């Protein structure tokens, strides 16, 4: 198996922060993973896809395991297409190549950066669709025991930006392949945000083009302005909280989750806390998208953590709502929650 030591991860994360991996492994077979399960101590490594939902906030990281499972296999059935994809394949390339073959469904999820293997982890979603809508099963190998499992859609426990792969039992394992099923009976979904301007009879190609156009016009390209997309999750709160907030902020945007819970727009909260476009040192809040934190000038990961803590505090002070990061925060000892990260340098 290929591996490297003292490896700079600057080109391997979309915030473009520098951090050194003592060792990085590139497993590409189940046997490689079994070897790693014997060699690595539990919890002493981080699994990396393309690093577009990851922030390295210290000079060093733990060992990095970067799976390199490749391939796209398509099988036609009378009513649809089964597609099995290696976890290292790029998500957007998959979307484009399927739509080119007239296999429809993922058009709303175009241009989401990252790998196919990371997509089930937070159940990626955009414009009214999410991975869970088409994921049939996920092949996963434990890095503790070397055991392989195939989890059904139900066993993956998908919900908003969440799945079983974020829980302790499954965090220490590698997603090797993801299986999808796309029914031939396809329906356009255009009832979300900017897609509402499209006709409900639009083709998948028209939706794809619109999603690409809107995302390119709204979101900063990490290749030009390093970022990890939405830094915080949209908070889900009790309806009673919304009633209180609405009494003060009548234009507060809300999205119903169920009878008792409502999703708020984290970007709106940050913007109305006065932080849109806020710059501190080398890093800041994007001038058009308050939910996106950006690395303007070769900033460090701890500068971004410091900014995120400042945003959290400002939003709590103004609205009484605590924002939780969507981005995974990785220090030398592994993943941490933001409240446990103590910053040693003045940022």
179 near ligand FAD (CB under 6 A): no
Contact (CB, 8 A) for 265 and 234? yes
Question: Long-range contact list for 167-173, CB < 8 A, 24+ apart?
Answer: 170/140, 172/42, 172/43, 172/142, 172/143, 172/144, 173/140, 173/141, 173/142, 173/143, 173/144
52 near ligand FAD (CB under 6 A): yes
Strand 2-8 versus strand 20-26 pairing type: antiparallel
198 near ligand FAD (CB under 6 A): no
Q: Shortest gap between Cβ of 245 and ligand FAD (angstroms)?
A: 25
228 near ligand FAD (CB under 6 A): yes
> Which span (51-59, 199-207, 249-257, 258-266) binds ligand FAD, by CB under 6 A?
51-59
Catalytic residue among 177, 230, 303, 306: 230
Residue 232 burial by Cβ neighbours in a 10 Å radius (0-12, 13-18, 19+): buried
118 near ligand FAD (CB under 6 A): yes
Nearer to ligand FAD, 87 or 306 (CB): 87
Nearest Cα neighbor of 292 from 225, 199, 210 is 225
175 near ligand FAD (CB under 6 A): yes
Nearer to ligand FAD, 167 or 298 (CB): 167
304 near ligand FAD (CB under 6 A): no
Q: Shortest gap between Cβ of 201 and ligand FAD (angstroms)?
A: 25
Residues 69-86: b if buried by 16+ CB within 10 A, e if exposed: beeeeeeeeeebbebbbb
234 near ligand FAD (CB under 6 A): no
Active site residue 326: yes
Pick from 86, 222, 267, 284 the residue near ligand FAD by CB under 6 A: 222
Query: Which residues within the stretch 124-163 sit at the binding site for ligand FAD (CB under 6 A)?
Result: 124-126
Active site residue 230: yes
Pick from 37, 61, 108, 115 the residue near ligand FAD by CB under 6 A: 115
Rounded Cα distance, 241 and 243, in Å? 5
Site string for ligand FAD, 316-335 (x = CB under 6 A): ------------x-------
Rounded Cα distance, 35 and 85, in Å? 23
Residue 224 gets the label, from left (phi > 0), alpha (psi -120 to 50) or beta, of: alpha
Nearer to ligand FAD, 134 or 319 (CB): 134
Nearer to ligand FAD, 26 or 249 (CB): 26
Residues that bind ligand FAD in the complex, under the rule CB under 6 A:
14, 46-54, 67, 87, 112-115, 117-119, 121-122, 124-126, 165, 174-175, 219, 222, 227-229, 328
């Amino acid at each position: 198996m290929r591996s490297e030591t003292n490896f700079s991860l600057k080109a391997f994360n979309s915030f473009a922060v520098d951090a050194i991996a003592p060792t990085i492994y590139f497993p590409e077979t189940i046997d490689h993973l079994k070897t790693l399960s014997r060699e690595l101590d539990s919890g002493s490594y981080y699994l990396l896809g393309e690093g577009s939902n990851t922030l390295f906030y210290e000079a060093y990281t733990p060992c990095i395991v970067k799976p390199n499972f490749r391939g796209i296999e398509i099988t036609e059935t009378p009513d649809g297409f089964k597609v099995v994809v290696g976890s290292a394949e790029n998500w957007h390339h998959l979307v484009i190549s399927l739509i080119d073959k007239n296999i429809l469904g993922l058009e709303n999820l175009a241009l989401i950066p990252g790998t196919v293997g990371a997509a089930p982890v937070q159940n990626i979603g955009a414009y009214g669709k999410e991975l869970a809508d088409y994921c049939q099963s996920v092949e996963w190998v434990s890095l503790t025991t070397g055991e392989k499992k195939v989890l059904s859609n139900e066993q993956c426990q998908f919900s908003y930006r969440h799945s079983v792969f974020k829980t302790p039992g499954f965090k220490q394992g590698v997603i090797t392949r993801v299986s999808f099923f796309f029914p031939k009976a396809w329906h356009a979904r255009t009832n979300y945000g900017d897609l509402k301007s499209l006709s409900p009879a639009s083709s998948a190609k028209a939706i794809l083009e619109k999603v690409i156009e809107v995302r390119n016009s709204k979101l900063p390209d990490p290749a030009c302005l390093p970022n990890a997309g939405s830094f915080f999750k949209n908070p889900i709160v009790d309806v009673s909280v919304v009633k209180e907030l609405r009494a003060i902020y009548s234009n507060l945007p809300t999205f119903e989750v169920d009878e008792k819970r409502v999703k708020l727009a984290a970007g709106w909260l940050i913007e109305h806390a006065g932080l849109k476009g806020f710059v501190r040192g080398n890093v800041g809040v994007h001038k058009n998208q308050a939910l996106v934190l950006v690395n303007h000038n070769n900033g460090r990961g701890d500068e971004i953590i410091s900014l995120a803590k400042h945003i959290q505090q400002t939003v709590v002070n103004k609205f009484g709502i605590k924002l939780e990061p969507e981005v995974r925060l990785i220090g030398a000892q592994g993943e941490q929650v933001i409240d446990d990260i103590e910053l040693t340098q003045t940022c």
